[in-house]
Amino acid sequence: MTDITLGTTGAAGAAPRFDWPFLAAAVAATVLLIALVLLDGQPASAALLVFGFGLGAVFLKAEFSFTAAWRRFLVHGEAGGLLAGLLVIAIAAVVIVPTAALLPGYGGAIAPLGPSLIIGACVFGVGMQLANGCGSGTLYTAGGGSGRMLITLACFIVGSVVGSLHLPAFLALGGIDPILAADYLGSWGGLAATLASLAVAAAIVVGVARRKGSAFQPRRALVIGGILVGLLSIAVFLAGGHPWSVTFGFTVWGAKIAGALGFDFSQAEFWQWAGPKRALGDSILSDTSSLTDLGMIFGAMAAAAATRPFARTAWPPAKSLLAATIGGLLMGWGARIGFGCNIGAFVGGVASGSLHGWIWLGAAFVGSYAGITLRPWFGLSRD
């Protein structure tokens, strides 16, 4: 997620102006997609589009930002944004951990533990600080009118396709099977352990903030946004059967484009696994992450166009665009090698009681620190 300014025009305090063409386009596109999946008799797919739309609007209005929150914590010790992120996970975990353990047809976000997870998450962390947004942040800022993040999104897609070709080789480096709290402690014990781990993380974050003399209370908008994002994450889980994820959709979009341009994936191991193979052959609207991604783009677009002229800002300097390009490529590659982004790996993983979510966070934090040190090379602030 990002702290990119999406751009406003007009005097401060002026009445909000609707941007009717883009507002109408965002709403019409969403309605048409909903109609298409309903024609196929798929109300759950329609629900995923609607919940994605809500997520896009909430992220944009609350300016929910993992990327900026991590940077403020690493540079200044400010903890408010990080705590809001932990709030999202705690809310989601209350439903996801027991439901995934007890109800057939539902499952948590899991991933193997090994070099692939650590390397991918670390590279993703570098990329998110250069791009100024992670997976969901790229979606809502690109949807919200940031041309810079539109470039990041395109490069994210390219990087994730390249990552899909490299993932089998990284998996061959070794690793162990996923570790789920519910497998060892039962559904409710797993939930208790997950909530306890979140409380410990929050205590550590607040302790660091206090020692640095920095603020640790989240802004009111972040608390409200965090609650709404947490509830929408639950809704996505219940509709889709798995925790909300973002980046697999990008990989499918990129592979479909590459396939249309003549690239042959029949020899690529990743695309022979059952899930990716099915996603590549079927409609994009048959993939759960694509549905929420599309909803999120149009939700952010509608929210942005409902309050100000859309995409009226000038393009940023070339060095900033270069950072957006490199950041997008690194995030895409890292997300595929490391099993997801802040949402799919960290939020989804921890909210499922899976150990890989915490390992992903640690490695991505290391990468983020490196990315923050690189930001001035591209004319970006370290703050």
Partner 1 sequence: MRAVYAIVLVLAFAALVTDHLTSPSSGRAKSPEDFPGACAPCGAPCPSAKK
Task: Please give the residue ranges that form the binding site for partner 1 (CB under 8 A).
Answer: 21-22, 25, 29, 32-33, 36-37, 40, 42, 44-45, 48, 107, 109-112, 114, 145, 147, 150, 164, 167, 171-172, 174-178, 240-242, 245, 248, 251, 256-257, 270, 273-276, 278-279, 281-289, 291, 294, 310-315, 336, 339-340, 344-345, 348
In order of 33, 73, 248, the CA distances from 156 in angstroms are 23, 25, 11
Q: Smallest gap, in angstroms, from Cβ of residue 40 to partner 1?
A: 5
Q: CA 186 to CA 183: how far, in whole Å? A: 6
CB of 172 to partner 1, least distance (A): 8
Q: CB-wise, 128 or 291, nearer to partner 1? A: 291
Torsion angle (degrees, nearest 10) of CA 27, 220, 348, 289: 10
Q: Which is nearer to partner 1, 154 or 228 (CB)?
A: 154
- Nearer Cβ to partner 1, position 38 or 204? 38
6-14: long-range contacts, CB 8 A cutoff, minimum separation 24 = 6/60, 6/141, 6/144, 6/145, 6/146, 6/304, 6/313, 7/145, 7/146, 7/308, 7/311, 7/312, 7/313, 8/308, 8/309, 9/308, 9/309, 9/312, 10/308, 10/309
Q: How far is the CB of 26 from partner 1 (least distance, A)?
A: 9
What angle do helix axes 20-39 and 43-62 make, rounded to 10 degrees?
A: 150
CB of 238 to partner 1, least distance (A): 13
Q: Least distance (Å) from partner 1 to the CB of residue 97?
A: 16
Closest approach of partner 1 to the CB of residue 299, in Å? 14
Tokens of 314: 């000038």
Minimal distance, residue 112 CB to partner 1, in Å: 5
Based on CB atoms, which residue is closest to partner 1, 66 or 244? Answer: 244
Nearer to partner 1, 240 or 371 (CB): 240
The smaller minimum CB distance to partner 1, of residues 73 and 244, is found at: 244
| Minimum separation from the CB atom of position 122 to partner 1 (A) | 17
Q: Tell me if 194 sits within 8 A of 361, measured CB to CB.
A: no
Long-range contacts of 270-278 (CB under 8 A, 24+ apart): 270/164, 270/165, 270/167, 270/168, 271/164, 276/164, 276/251, 276/252
Which residue number, 48 or 330, has a Cβ lying nearer to partner 1? 48
**Closest CB to partner 1 among residues 87, 291:** 291
Alpha carbon 34 to chain centroid distance?
Answer: 22
